A and B are shown apart, each in its own frame.
Chain A
Amino acid sequence: MQLFKLLGNKRLFIALIGLVAFIAIMGFTLGPRASLSWPEKFMRDTVGFVQSIFYKPASYIAGFFEDVRNMREIYDENERLRKAVAQYSRESASYNMMKANYDELQNIMNFTEHQKQRYEYVYRVAQVISVNSDPNNRTLVIDLGERDGVRVNMSVTSVEGMVGVVSSVSNFTSTVKLLTAMDEQDPNPQPIAVTAVGKETATADHKATFGIIESYNEKTGMLEMMRIPEDDPIEEGDQIISSGIGGLIPQGMIIGTVDEVRTSDYGQTRTASIVPAASFQDWKHVIVVFTPEEPE
């Protein structure tokens, strides 16, 4: 009798139905989804529009005070940039020659048009509209959307280095999932195959560096690069870039520098801690990397 009385309680009944509905929604939206439904798109576009009105002025005002604070550092930065420009102009001459050589060789080898364009990425600057700093679900909203050709899983980078991957797209805005939310047990894992600058390919002296970044350690603030072979030439201070293996993440995205290399928990391979190049703070602009369309 007691049990039937309990079932007759309307409030309990509603609460249970609500709980079940929420678990269903969470489970349904957790896995990979092709695209968003129209109510979601509508809500995101309207709210995104209002947010963009507020975010820009706020970032300019905050940026102004920061500029005043950084006035002294600008002199040093100028010096450094001048050196970098000198080096750049020297290197661009040799780059042009190598590029011409490379194109010619591609022609001789009969590369198809698609193969030639595989590594020609288009970079587009996007304005950050709003930020969610929940540590378990760090996301940014940017003002480029489906209409501008953004697709899910495109990589997003800042001037310093890679910051994340586009997780969902609506007509005029898209959401970027940051690298700091990366996690091995994620239901939609996005591991990044990486290598070190100068050690991309095997030579007579050493083998190529290879590893996979699939998690972020929140306690140390570093990315974990796993599955590095025992005889890998990786060293502390190496700059880590994405290798483009697997195809989802474009080649040559700067990720960070190696802080420490140690034997992994299972002993067979090694693990490296990577200090991320991007700062993950004070967002203003990010750059979306458009990869060429894969032929169907």
Chain B
Amino acid sequence: MKRKQVLFLLLFLLFILQGTVFFWLTPSSWQLQIYPNFVFVAILFVSVYYHRHTGLVLGLIFGMIHDVIYYGEMIGTYSFAMGVSAYIMGLLFQMPRAPLPIMMTVVLLGSLLFDSTLFGIYKVFSLSQSSYDWALLHHMLPNLLVHFVFALIIYVPLRKQLEIIAKSKRNQTS
């Protein structure tokens, strides 16, 4: 039953890489446009293929780490947005046998939902001046593309691992 812990550590590693290595892989001209959140994409997979409650808890934990590390304005924005969007996507689409097209739809909708939630929170606390249309065009859609490509890359290995974990859980309960 070590598989779970290893996956959790890998998720943490992904969080570290996201702020360090991925930043260097993006071309300079894109660095002001995109802010990919790969951890969130991986959590969406957990929500769909395993359980939405696990997705919620993982979203809350990793969002909170992100908030504390990059504490500029306030704590709680990422935690709230990641947890709630992972839970909602899991609630709508949780099916252990979801094929690739459905999973990709979940990633697209989920990342839009996540970015919109963030935008909404910043707007409520009046930390953001730009309009939604502008943010959608300049930040959310480029982000969406990057998330989609990342989801395609991790689809096969992550789904396999999650299915093994889900199966062993079912065997234990029955």
Residues of A within 8 A of B (CB): 22, 25-26, 29-30, 36, 40, 43-44, 47-48, 50-51, 54-55, 58-59, 61-62, 129-139, 141, 167-168, 175, 177, 180-181, 183, 185-188, 215, 218-219, 221, 280-282
Interface residue? B136 (CB, 8 A): no
27 A-B pairs in the complex with CB atoms less than 8 angstroms apart: A22-B76, A26-B80, A26-B121, A36-B71, A44-B69, A51-B19, A54-B21, A55-B21, A62-B24, A129-B20, A130-B19, A130-B23, A131-B19, A132-B35, A132-B70, A132-B72, A135-B135, A136-B119, A136-B127, A137-B72, A137-B122, A138-B72, A141-B19, A167-B71, A187-B73, A219-B130, A281-B31
What's the minimum C-beta distance from A139 to chain B, rounded to whole angstroms?
A: 4
Inter-chain CA distance A135–B127, complex, in Å, is 11
Inter-chain CA distance A35–B77, complex, in Å, is 20
Taking CB atoms and an 8 Å cut-off, the chain B residues in 14-43 that contact chain A are: 16-17, 19-21, 23-25, 28, 31-32, 34-35
- Tally of A-B Cβ pairs under 8 angstroms: 138
Instruction: Tell me whether chain B's interface is mostly helix, strand or loop, or mixed.
Output: helix
Inter-chain CA distance A187–B74, complex, in Å, is 10
A130 touches B69 (CB 8 A): yes
B24 touches A133 (CB 8 A): no
B34 touches A22 (CB 8 A): no
A137 touches B70 (CB 8 A): yes
Q: Interface residue count for B (Cβ, 8 Å)? A: 40
What's the minimum C-beta distance from B20 to chain A, rounded to whole angstroms?
A: 4
B127 touches A183 (CB 8 A): yes
Residues of the B chain whose Cβ atoms lie less than 8 Å from the Cβ of A55: 19-21
With A51-B20, A130-B20 known, 15 other A-B pairs at CB within 8 A are: A40-B68, A40-B71, A43-B65, A44-B69, A51-B16, A54-B17, A55-B19, A58-B20, A134-B70, A135-B32, A138-B72, A139-B71, A183-B127, A186-B73, A219-B134
- Asked if A281 meets B71 with Cβ closer than 8 Å, knowing A58-B20, A135-B139, A186-B127, the reply is no
B31 touches A29 (CB 8 A): no
A133 touches B28 (CB 8 A): no
- A47, A51, A136: most-surrounded residue (chain B CB, <10 A): A136
B119's nearest neighbour on chain A, judged by CB, is A136
A137 touches B73 (CB 8 A): yes
Interface residue? B85 (CB, 8 A): no
Residues of the A chain whose Cβ atoms lie less than 8 Å from the Cβ of B71: 29, 36, 40, 44, 139, 167-168, 175
Inter-chain CA distance A136–B67, complex, in Å, is 13
- A59, A135, A181: most-surrounded residue (chain B CB, <10 A): A135
A61 touches B24 (CB 8 A): yes
